[in-house]
Structure 1
Amino acid sequence: MDTMRDRFAPVMTELLDEDPRVAVVLAEIGRDGLAEAARRHPDRVINVGIREQLLIGAGAGLALTGLRPVLHTFGSFLVERPFEQVKLDLGHQDAGAVLVSGLGSYDWPAGGFTHMAPGDVALLDTLDGWTVHVPGHPDEAEALLRHAVAAGDDKVYVRLSVQTNAEARPVDGARFLTVRSGGSGVVVAVGPMLDPVLDATGGLDVTVLHATTVRPFDGEALRRATGAAGADVVLVEPYLAGTSTAAANDALADVPHRILGLGVARRELRRYGTMEEHIAAHGLDPHGLRRRITRFLDGAARGGS
């Protein structure tokens, strides 16, 4: 299977050919895949070099001229390093762009902590008006990328990862998808966490929701899944643990509920290892998820926390 990021260059090449508003800005990373597109559209495929702040600034400038810029590099260089430019050049100027990351929280551990971005979505949460897509499969990534480029002049972040589910699910760029129904709790699996969650919750009487668009947060889907009486909710996110707990709490403010936020811990893992080892170390493999989810639900059954 190809990766989510493998879809980026072919999709963008098609969109550049089809839509004269579309532009792509790179900071070295990803230039080879768009070499032919750059030859065909030299004024709309721009490589600024290893200058991530300029990447955002140039994209904002293109947006202010009426283009639809798509900005691409690794997540840590796209959101964290140039955050001031994301905040001011895009946000303060109300300029729309599509930010497409490569690598997720720990997709390339050998790159070290400089190439990891577990706090990217939480950081964007400090700003207003961002749509955030977290696909769980290359087909979902392609659909959400096309959706993002077509989304007028909105500010959109598409978070790509090497980690993937075995099959794609229908995505519409807005709503959560009910994958399994149950009556003893709700588990929201974000993007590539769906397969581990399905494995972890096998035999449990829980509803599983698949979330590929997390901002805006689909509070209505969560409310329907919990019901008027409320429920226990587990959020399983492939980035910083607890990133969406406030959004879920807001959605359920008027019904009884408990929330457990699972994801990447704040504690830095300083050994390179592999992606799979990082997943297990953060308890995001099926075994770790099963243990923590059942302990949480068992606590509710006993009247504890």
Structure 2
Amino acid sequence: MDTMRDRFAPIVSRLLDEDPRVAVVLAEIGRDGFREAERRHPDRVINVGIREQLLIGAAAGLALTGLRPIVHTFASFLVERPFEQVKLDLGHQGTGAVLVSAAASFDWPAGGFTHMAPGDVALLDTLDGWTVHVPGHPDEAETLLRHAVAAGDDRVYVRLSVQSNRQGRAVDGRRFVTVREGRSGVVVAVGPVLDAVLAATEGLDVTVLYATTVRPFDAAGLRRYGTVEEHVAAHGLDAATLRERIGHFMNAGRVTAERG
């Protein structure tokens, strides 16, 4: 099976052909996937080199001219390193862009701590006006990326991971998907941890909801199954450990499991 990132360049290259508003801004990483698109659209495929602050600034400038920039690099260099530019060039100026990361969380341990970004979603949550998608399968990544580009001039973050669930599900960029229903608790699995959560909750009388969009949060969908009182970070836990923690918290009420 291909990865979410394998889908990224072909999808965006087609969007460049289809929509004259779409532009791509890169910081060296991922450039090989856009060689053909760069030849067809030299004015809308821009590589700024290893200058992540400029990456965001250039995207904001393109947005001010009416374009819809798609900005891509590793998560640590897309959200954390240029965070001031994300806050000011995009947020303060009220401009929109689609930030698409690779190597989310701890995906690439060989790159060292500089290439890890477990706090990217939490960091963006300190800013107003962002939509955050966390797909769990390449098919979902394609759907959510198209949603993001079509979202007017909104600010959208699409978090791509090398981790993937075995099958993609029909997602709409807004609502949770009910995967399993039960009466003793609620588990919300975010993105690529769904398979692990399903294994951990096998035989337990719990509802499993699947979230690929965490901001805005589908509070109405969650309320249909009760109130969440506890939070379990599922990333990095094997199914047995996750199952033990879920069982521990079930006595206290509802449970949310999400990728850290």
Instruction: Decide: shared fold, TM above 0.5.
Output: yes
Output one character per residue of 1:132-158: Cα deviation in whole Å (capped at 9) or x when no partner. Answer: 000000000000001100000000000
Query: Structure 1 vs Structure 2: percent identity of aligned residues?
Result: 77
Equivalent in the alignment of 2:56:
56
- The alignment status of 1:152 with 2:152, answered yes or no, reads yes
Of residues 226, 247, 257, the one that matches 1:294 is 247
Give the 3-state SS of the residue equivalent to 1:17 in structure 2.
Answer: helix
Which string of whole-angstrom CA distances, capped at 9 and with x for unpartnered residues, describes residues 189-227 of structure 1?
Answer: 00001100000000000000000000000000000022x
Q: Indicate yes or no: 2:207 matched with 1:207.
A: yes
Cα offset, 1:298, TM superposition:
3.9
Task: Give the match's secondary structure for 2:225.
Answer: helix
| CA RMSD of superposed structures (Å) | 1.2
For each residue in 1:128-187, what CA deviation from the matched residue of structure 2 results, as whole angstroms up to 9, or x when unmatched?
000000000000000000110000000000000001000001110110010000000000
Which residue in 1 is equivalent to 2:143?
Answer: 143
Task: Give the corresponding residue for 1:65.
Answer: 65
Deviation beyond 3 Å, 4+ runs, structure 1: 298-301
In structure 1, distance between residues paired with 2:145 and 2:253: 39
Q: Distance in 2 between matches of 1:210 and 1:114?
A: 30
Could you tell me which amino acid in structure 1 is paired with residue 233 of structure 2? L
Return the letter of the residue paired with 1:196. Answer: A
Q: Using structure 1 for the length normalisation, give the TM-score.
A: 0.82
Q: How many residues align?
A: 254
Aligned to 2:92: 92
Q: Which residue of 254, 259, 264 corresponds with 2:230?
A: 259
> What is the rounded CA distance, in whole Å, between the counterparts of 1:59 and 1:287 in structure 2?
44
- Give the corresponding residue for 2:193: 193
Q: What is the CA–CA distance in structure 1 between the aligned matches of 2:66 and 2:169, rounded to whole Å?
A: 33
| Aligned-partner residue type, residue 2 of structure 2 | D
- What is the one-letter code of the residue matched to 1:96? G
Residue 189 of structure 1 aligns to a residue whose secondary structure is: strand
1:163 corresponds to: 163
Question: For residue 206 of structure 1, what is the amino acid of its counterpart?
Answer: V
Matched residue, 2:107: 107
Which residues of structure 1 form unaligned runs of 5+?
A: 234-257, 265-278
Q: Using the TM superposition, give the Cα deviation of residue 299 of structure 1 relative to its aligned residue in structure 2, in angstroms.
A: 5.2
Cα separation, partners in 2 of 1:66 and 1:84, compared to 1, 3 Å = same
1:26 aligns to what? 26
Alignment partners' CA distance in 2, 1:263 and 1:113: 20
